[in-house]
Structure 1
Amino acid sequence: MNRFFDFHLHPSFKPYLSSPEPSRRVDCWEYLESPIGIIRSQSCLDQMEKGQIGVAVSAIYAMERPMTSSFLIEHLAPKLTVLHDEMLDHPCYSNYMEYIREEIEHLKKSQGANGRTFNIINSIDEAEEGKMNLILALEGGHALEQFNTDVVDNLRLLKQGADRFLYLTFVHMTQYPLACHAYGMKLIKGNNQFKPNGFGITGLGKEVIDVAYDESQGRRILIDVKHMSVVARHKFYQYRKEKGYDKIPIVATHMGFTGISKSREAIIKQFKKPAKRSGNFIEVNYERPKGIGKGLFNKTFFNPWSINLFDEDITEILDSGGLIGLSLDQRIMGSQEVQGEFFSAQEFNYILSGYKDETHEEPVAAGELSDEEERDRELNERKHLRHLCNNILHAVKIGGGRAWKQLCMGSDFDGLIDPLNNCTSAEEYPKLERGLIEELPTMMKEDKTHDYDETDIAGKVRGIMYDNAIDFLKKHFR
């Protein structure tokens, strides 16, 4: 029986939010039904077990206060779902680490529930065949915050604690003083906390990177570049070279690809209309870059939002010996029309300068930000499968044959995503593997711009679904 791997999902996130009282929380095996699609379970432990998950990374996430203050999350979700209003009304910004500890404890409580078990492992050597094995990770540097404490000291304590964390997703959806984040919020409009501000990586951010990587201060924690702005990623790669971190792998755990270079010219070419400035923010509206295929049911696109990886990012990660997890979010994979995204004005000017470190100011007109209506959701399963294949084949075009060995699944299930219709939960991974084996050769033949190696497609797909990640963990999680 084939086993499956997922680099980034959230089996404990929604159950933890079901009650402020630990004894009354829904256990992590239970399927949560909801009329709100993004709240419905996608990776409860039962779905993961049915989907034959052998190893997965459980990303522990404390929801940022600006997230919970949205009407959908704070007011509508508690009325229509098991999410508890008290859990969605954090009284402050400063106690995220306590929420992290509580969520981990809730996940552990589900071990042995109703006689069903799984492992939480601190080394790939602890993984058991025929059993579900979870590895912990942290999503967002804000998770290191706790009352009257230093985030770097808190990171050291985590590195030396009983639980081991594979990676830290450096930033998330809101402004935080480690680095500038990439805009990624389409659900909530009008809150500037979601818009990127600042420039690159801060001094505090560099200190966190140093401590995370330093094995003399506890077990190494890898840095996940998902949610970093394109300039923060650019500066991260520079900093790694300066510090001699080249041999430590870069991970990008739940990604899609823009389909283009990060050059000034390539980005501007995709503008649907001129960029507009409002205060410290720049709004950009794009045309989606075209992918493989033609015609209504065969054409594919990329999502050019800078939360996705540009071609240069792919090369940097592969060169580091890193691993890229493929998100199963419709929007990230490019199957939905894209709305406008926002940049920090300071970073946008840097991009327009061609990433030159001298001060450079390009005029961007001030003006009203335009409204974009949400487009209809695409329902065709095959179309969504083709968008995933399109992203896989783009990585192979940019990275060469080695990319087949450095891709894996990183669904982001239960991370408030709208999943691809051909794989709506962890339960459907066997079906997804069959679909990839069938569709990838077809799309290779359609794409006349690249000469693909069409041998052993089943083996290549098996690598993406499981083997590549296990090989990576044997090198970096022992």
Structure 2
Amino acid sequence: MAAVFDLHFHPLAKRFLHEFDDEKRQNGAYADPLRIPLIGQVADAAVGFILETQASIAQAVKGEYRLGVAAIVSTEYVFASRKGVLKLLEYELFERDLFAPLDNRLFDFINESQGSYHQLFAKELQFYKWAAGLLPLTKPETIIINLVNRKAAGGARFEAGKLNLLLAVEGGHNFCELRINEAMAIPHPARLIRKYREDKSVDFLYLTLTHLSHVQEQCLCSHAFGFKLVKDIPEARPQADGLTDLGKQVINACINTNTNQAPILIDIKHMSLQGRRDFYAYRKTLLHDPPADFTPPSLNEKPLWPIVATHMGVTGYDSRDLGNFIKEYGVEEGNEHSIRVKLSRQMAGVLPVGLGFSQVFFNPATINLCNDDITEIALSDGLIGISLDARILGFDIIIQRRYTVVDYFSKGDFARFFPELAQRLNYLEPEPDEADHADEPVFLSAHEGRFQGLAGRITRETYLFCLNVLHIVAVINRLPLAERHNRDGWDFVCLGTDYDGLIDSIKAARTAESLPAFKKELVHYLTKAEKAYRETFTGTPSLLTENVEVVLDKLFYTNGENFIKRWWGMV
């Protein structure tokens, strides 16, 4: 099967950033990739091709997408501020963009507190409705998109020949109606979420509770540190203590089916490790001892609340073993609300090629899934999307090989995990700049194929993708069959590319158009990767009990479609 399902991507995001005016944005070019100026292409190569359009509507169609989840996310202050990476890319010369075709009015709106994150969210939501031909006055000449909606007449329907999209919300800040950076009033995101749930014109599969920064005007949960292209902005580091009371109100508003049968699932991506633990505990309370005004979601008249993790990699360890991976911890001057932690890396496997660089490692940062997270998702009958961001998967440059990774915890989260260590905090020197998004040294990039056996970037990234998937399957298959809903570990994984989410996508699947070829390439990698995984994690039983093509069909499409059919009743 050549079809593709994607649990998390941003097909209209680059077009939205390009034009702030709603009416001007609604034109025939909406489906096409954006062209980047020449100097912008040079800058983009230096930071990891994050500006290059990876998944426009046209690219997704060429990449054989049949079904996917389009995530809407409002640009946060940390990216738009004068210290944020996007702000650095908005410069113009003679009224022409030097680096990237981004509309400066968006940055002005954010930096000057002209409105709220929810206003930006509503503008992008309207763009999706227009593209799907749902607005009464204006429509595209050719309608390529079908927005799947449980609340529409006839229910959630799949349309052949179109790009079938479900919508999702990345970050609870999208439901904040307070002016950006003005925290004087009391936010009411739960009230707004209930309003959206009653709106029959729109439907959301999931809400990613937090994103990549501490939003002072509406804090729902501490976030996992995950974006290194902003410097000296404290809000980029986590500051809250796990899941807040306001976050619990939002979860309740999303999930309660007491008066509404269209719940919004919670995506645990971007939640801090402590935030995830708090969420699991709160979820269990709502499922097994709910308050009188709360009815948990159900399937076939049985309570069921799937957990989704939409664009992930794995740490390779159980969170209870986190202390064994800490090599350094302390406080940075200017970031006193956060604890900097240096983590060692769990080996993912030894590749059959390498010339001395055959070992590859998972990314141990807590933005990734720990083994106990994977278990919670399987027990819930949930779904895990695998990111195609090279850094999330654990890729590291050969010459600058680092065996540790810097992570950050809020002080509250760190104290709850490590009460004794929290009593012995020292100040640390500022972490030196890392070339986190630099490409391979030119010599190796250009000539790696000339050296017999050298594991170049494409090879290492592709193996790491396989090893991340295999680790999830292995962890799930340790569970008794009944606890994993009588399904194999391969039934819980899918793609969650995060294309156009400012990622450095792996070279073998740089854009959505690459995915059919990438799938064919994986046929040659997966068996070797499984052998390498089992040699590293001794005692692991065979993980490829089915034909490789069968498990790849599950990974690339059928698991996602089955989940949507099961959860949304899509026909």
Tell me which interval the TM-score lies in, with the shorter structure as reference length.
Answer: over 0.9
Q: Please name the residue that 2:426 is paired with.
A: 365
Partners of 2:78 and 2:84 within 8 A in 1: no
Q: Kindly indicate whether the alpha-carbon contact (under 8 Å) linking 2:328 and 2:343 is maintained by their aligned counterparts in 1.
A: no
TM-score normalised per structure 1: 0.93
Q: Cα distance, 1:280 vs. partner?
A: 2.2
Residue 105 of structure 2 is aligned to residue 86 of structure 1: yes
* 1:246-257 matched pairs, under 5 angstroms: 247-257=304-314
1:41 corresponds to: 53
Find the counterpart in structure 2 of residue 386 from structure 1: 463
CA distance in 1, matches of 2:114, 2:504: 27
Q: Which amino acid aligns with 2:88?
A: H
Which segment drifts farther, 440-449 or 20-29?
A: 20-29
Measure the CA separation in 1 of the matches of 2:67 and 2:358: 33
Helix, strand or coil for the counterpart of 1:17?
Answer: helix
- CA shift, 1:361, in A, is 4.4
1:150 aligns with 2:177: no
- The DSSP-based 3-state class of the residue aligned with 2:66 is strand
Q: Is residue 311 of structure 1 aligned with residue 371 of structure 2?
A: yes
* 1:410 and 2:496 matched: yes
Matched, 1:230 2:230: no
Deviation of 1:128 (Å):
1.5
How many Å separate the matches in 2 of 1:470 and 1:150? Answer: 34
Distance in 2 separating the partners of 1:298 and 1:117: 44
Q: What residue number does 1:277 align with?
A: 331
Match runs of 1:192-231 below 5 Å: 192-218=234-260, 219-231=262-274
Write the distance in 1 (CA, Å) between the matches of 2:358 and 2:90.
36
Q: Find 1:350's aligned residue among 416, 429, 443.
A: 416
2:542 corresponds to 1:443: no
- 2:124 maps to 1:103: yes
CA displacement at 1:232 relative to structure 2 = 0.4
Distance in structure 2 (CA, Å) of the matches to 1:409 and 1:423: 12
Instruction: Quote the offset at 1:373 in angstroms.
Output: 2.3
2:10 and 2:500 in contact (8 A); partners too: yes
Deviations 1:253-305 (A, max 9, x none): 00110011112xx323333x421223221111223221112445643210000
Alignment-derived partner of residue 300 in structure 1: 360
Question: SS of the residue aligned with 1:317?
Answer: helix
Corresponding residue for residue 510 of structure 2? 424
Alpha-carbon spacing, 1:283–1:93, altered in 2? closer, same or farther (3 Å): farther
What is the match of residue 13 of structure 1? Answer: 13
Deviates more, 1:397-406 or 1:203-212: 397-406
Which whole-Å CA distance do the structure 2 matches of 1:436 and 1:93 have between them? Answer: 48
Tell me whether 404-413 or 71-80 shows the greater mean CA deviation: 71-80
Find the aligned partners of 2:141 and 2:413 in 1 and give their Cα distance.
52
Name the residue aligned to 1:28: 30
The correspondence of residues 102-141 of structure 1 with structure 2, limited to 5 A, is: 102-111=123-132, 113-123=140-150, 125-141=156-172
In the aligned structure 2, how far is the partner of 1:103 from the partner of 1:56?
A: 17
Q: State the percentage of identical aligned residues.
A: 31
Aligned to 2:79: 67
CA distance in 2, matches of 1:192, 1:249: 33
- 1:368-401 residue CA offsets vs partner (Å, 9 max, x unmatched): 3332421543462121110100101111121117
Query: Is there any run of 5+ residues in structure 1 with no aligned partner, and where?
Result: 354-358
Contact (CA 8 Å) 1:228, 1:307: kept in 2 or not? Answer: yes
Mean CA deviation greater in 450-459 or 367-376: 367-376
Matching of residue 268 in structure 1 with residue 268 in structure 2: no
Root mean square deviation of aligned Cα: 2.1
**Aligned mates of 1:28, 1:420 — CA distance in 2:** 25
Comparing 164-173 with 176-185, greater Cα deviation is found at: 176-185
44-53 vs 79-88, greater mean Cα deviation = 79-88
Aligned pairs for 1:160-199 (under 5 A) are 160-161=198-199, 162-176=201-215, 177-199=219-241
- Residues 367-376 or 253-262, more deviating: 367-376
Distance 2:148 2:224 in 1: 31
Using the alignment, how far apart are the partners of 2:416 and 2:343 within structure 1?
Answer: 19
User: Which AA in structure 2 matches 1:194?
Assistant: A
Cα-to-partner distance string for 1:325-346 (whole Å, 9 max, x where unaligned)? 0000011000135652211112
Aligned mates of 2:346, 2:549 — CA distance in 1: 28
Partners of 2:142 and 2:304 in 1: CA distance:
43
Pair 320,155 (structure 1): closer, same or farther in 2 beyond 3 Å: same
- Counterpart of 2:136 in structure 1 is none
Where 1:422 maps in the other structure, the secondary structure is helix
Between the aligned partners of 2:498 and 2:520, the Cα distance in structure 1 is: 20
Aligned: 1:472 with 2:511: no
* DSSP 3-state at the match of 1:286: strand
Tell me the TM-score normalized by structure 2. Answer: 0.78
Q: 1:93 to 1:311 in 2, by over 3 A?
A: farther
Q: Deviations over 1:68-93 (max 9, x none)?
A: 11353113245322111111222328
**Partner in structure 1 of residue 315 of structure 2:** 258
How many angstroms apart in 1 are the aligned matches of 2:520 and 2:80?
Answer: 38
Question: Match for 1:470: what amino acid?
Answer: E
Q: Which amino acid aligns with 1:333?
A: L
- Which residue identity does 1:153 align to in structure 2? R
| Structure 2: 5+ residue stretches without partners | 92-96, 133-138, 179-184, 288-295, 297-302, 397-401, 446-456, 478-486
Letter in 1 for 2:505: P
Give the superposition deviation at 1:118.
1.6
Determine if contact 2:12/2:31 at 8 Å carries over to the other structure.
no
Q: Report deviation, 1:114.
A: 4.8
Is the aligned partner of 1:241 residue 2:284? Answer: yes
The change in CA–CA distance for 1:49 and 1:131 in structure 2 (over 3 A counts) is same
- Residues 306, 377 of structure 2: 8 Å contact kept: yes
- Identify the residue that residue 89 of structure 2 maps to in structure 1: 76
- Secondary structure at the aligned position of 1:126 is classed as coil
1:94 Cα shift? Answer: 5.4
Q: Judge conservation of contact 1:118–1:132 (CA < 8 Å) in 2.
A: yes
Per-residue displacement from partner, 1:38-92 (whole Å, max 9, x unpaired)?
A: 1110010000000010001000111112211135311324532211111122232
In structure 2, do the counterparts of structure 1 residues 209 and 418 end up closer, same or farther at CA, with 3 Å as the change threshold? same
- Cα deviation for residue 411 of structure 1 reads 0.5
